[in-house]
Amino acid sequence: MKNKVFALKSKIWLSPPHMSGYEQEFIDEAFKTNWIAPLGPNVIGFEKDIESYLNHNSHVVALSSGTAAIHLALILLNVGFGDEVLCQTKTFAASVNPVVYQGAKPIFIDSEKETWNMCPVLLEKAIKERIALNKKPKAIIAINLYGMPYNVEAINRISKAYAIPVIEDSAEAIGGNYKGQKCGTFGDFSIFSFNGNKIITTSGGGALITRNKKAKEKAVFLATQAKDIGVEYSHSTIGYNYRLSNVLAGIGRGQMKVLDDRVDLRRRNYKFYYEHLSSNKNISFLKEPEGYFTNRWLTCVVFQSNKVREDVRLLLEKENIESRPSWKPMHLQPVFKSFPKYLNGTSEELYEKGLCLPSGSNLTIEDLNKIVKIIKSYFE
Ligand SMILES: *Cc1c(COP(=O)(O)O)cnc(C)c1O
């Protein structure tokens, strides 16, 4: 047992959970009052905490995962069998899987270089082509990758011009903002993830955010098995078991108290890597364009070639340091490769050459120094 704990401690992880201590108080309260289930004060409180954090007329539904939140957003937008949904190809598979749960078809859109997020030019090209094929897309899933906001103005303009709603996947982006407007408030629907690897976590969980009170009520109904009013178990529509547990919501309440601090620490990591590595011509960084504020969930650096990226990754692995290739684009995934795609090469290049460095808010300066030293040693 002792050895196991030691092994967990000595490894430097990509993005481990970082508890503040406040979580335990909310969990203890749930145990004391036996509010283990059903839904209770922690769930309601967690939703209120997020609503007041966003401060943007937002209605929040706490859910069991970010994936569930995307699924419900698609259902609320009436995405169904045979419909097409435009989706950023540079993302994690959970952004796209729910499209297929609905029997709909993802259409992949490549990224722009400035943000690594959905390229507005390709998005508009795709919309025009799909409309010409008589297949007007039902929704756009835009991602705030690694915490960097997408080009909100451009994507919203296109969304309005063609009357196609946006689902904002902010799974990685709570704490970021675009021209002062917080991530989680850009889309017709927005989602957060509180999975264990995200900037704050409930060990597993997510949230759906809407600007519409009725939509929240409908989401809660669907997420709690779509039980019709009354004590009989009567159902007139298909439901889901997607609500967050009252115990886990307690972890979320504790984490919300330290969100700003966690953003500062993640940004500190980026700054440290940038200051120590950016003078090396072989390594490039994603800069923050004017008006963008990223939470720097993960710091991802781009090397000259796939070989260098892999060499560095393996060198870190040998020292018990976890790093990961940048997300493999969805259009390259065996399970998605037959779907239509609009490409410009950006997502493939980032996948080949990009490496996500350890980015936890609980990294120490010694950890950061060790990582930088190993990377530098490769180029000496
Ligand atoms: C983590 C993540 C999700 C899924 O969230 P879960 O809570 O793990 O279901 C969706 N999209 C992106 C971009 C993510 O990083």
248, 319: one domain: no
Query: What's residue 2's pLDDT?
Result: 46
For the four alpha carbons of 297, 301, 302 and 306, in that order, the dihedral sign comes to negative
Would you state the structure tokens that stand for residue 38, as one six-digit string?
């059903």
Which atom of ligand 1 is the closest one to the Cα of 69? Answer: 9
Query: What's residue 7's pLDDT?
Result: 53
38, 161: one domain: yes
378 C-alpha to center of ligand 1: Å? 33
- Note whether residue 246 is domain-resident: yes
pTM, whole model, 2 decimals? 0.96
Which atom of ligand 1 is the closest one to the Cα of 68? Answer: 9
- Note whether residue 18 is domain-resident: no
71 C-alpha to center of ligand 1: Å? 12
Q: Which residues of 300-333 are buried (b: 16+ CB within 10 A; e: fewer)?
A: bbbbeeeebbeebbeebeeeebbbebbbbbbbee
* Ligand 1 interacting residues, C-beta cut-off 6 A: 65-67, 91-92, 94-95, 143, 169, 171-172, 193, 195, 206
Which residue, of 201, 223, 256, is where some domain finishes?
Answer: 256
243, 265: one domain: no
273, 300: one domain: yes
45, 90: one domain: yes
Our mutation pick for probing the ligand 1 site, out of 172, 192, 200, 240, counting the most ligand atoms within 8 A of Cβ, is 172
Q: What is the CATH number of the domain that holds 175?
A: 3.40.640.10
279, 217: one domain: no
246, 278: one domain: no
**Residue 290 belongs to what domain range?**
259-379
265, 295: one domain: yes
Say which residues have a Cβ less than 8 Å from residue 140's Cβ, sequence separation at least 6.
Answer: 85, 86, 87, 118, 123, 155, 158, 159, 164, 165, 166, 167
Region at 8 (left for phi over 0; alpha for psi -120 to 50; beta for the rest): alpha
Query: What interhelical angle do 246-256 and 41-54 show, nearest 10?
Result: 30
- Note whether residue 311 is domain-resident: yes
Which residue, of 221, 238, 256, is where some domain finishes?
Answer: 256
Query: What's residue 318's pLDDT?
Result: 97
**Is the distance from CB of 218 to CB of 76 less than 8 angstroms?**
yes
273, 178: one domain: no
Query: What's residue 1's pLDDT?
Result: 43
Which atom of ligand 1 is the closest one to the Cα of 67? Answer: 9
Which residue, of 256, 274, 308, is where some domain finishes?
Answer: 256
262 C-alpha to center of ligand 1: Å? 18
- Note whether residue 266 is domain-resident: yes
- Note whether residue 16 is domain-resident: no
Our mutation pick for probing the ligand 1 site, out of 61, 63, 65, 67, counting the most ligand atoms within 8 A of Cβ, is 67
92 C-alpha to center of ligand 1: Å? 7
Would you state the structure tokens that stand for residue 5, as one six-digit string?
């704990």
Ligand 1 atom 6 nearest Cα: 66
Our mutation pick for probing the ligand 1 site, out of 15, 88, 169, counting the most ligand atoms within 8 A of Cβ, is 169
Ligand 1 atom 8 nearest Cα: 195
Determine the Cα–Cα distance for residues 346 and 329; give it in Å rounded to an integer. 10
234 C-alpha to center of ligand 1: Å? 32
- First vs last C-alpha separation in the chain: 40
376 C-alpha to center of ligand 1: Å? 32
41, 110: one domain: yes
113, 175: one domain: yes
Return the bridge partners of 209, or none.
60, 190
52 C-alpha to center of ligand 1: Å? 23
Q: What is the CATH number of the domain that holds 299?
A: 3.90.1150.10
The closest alpha carbon to 285, from 350, 358, 198, belongs to: 350
Residues (pLDDT < 50) of the chain are: 1-2
**What's the structural domain count of the chain?**
2
- Note whether residue 17 is domain-resident: no
Query: What's residue 231's pLDDT?
Result: 87
- Note whether residue 231 is domain-resident: yes
Query: What's residue 5's pLDDT?
Result: 52
114, 196: one domain: yes
- Note whether residue 1 is domain-resident: no
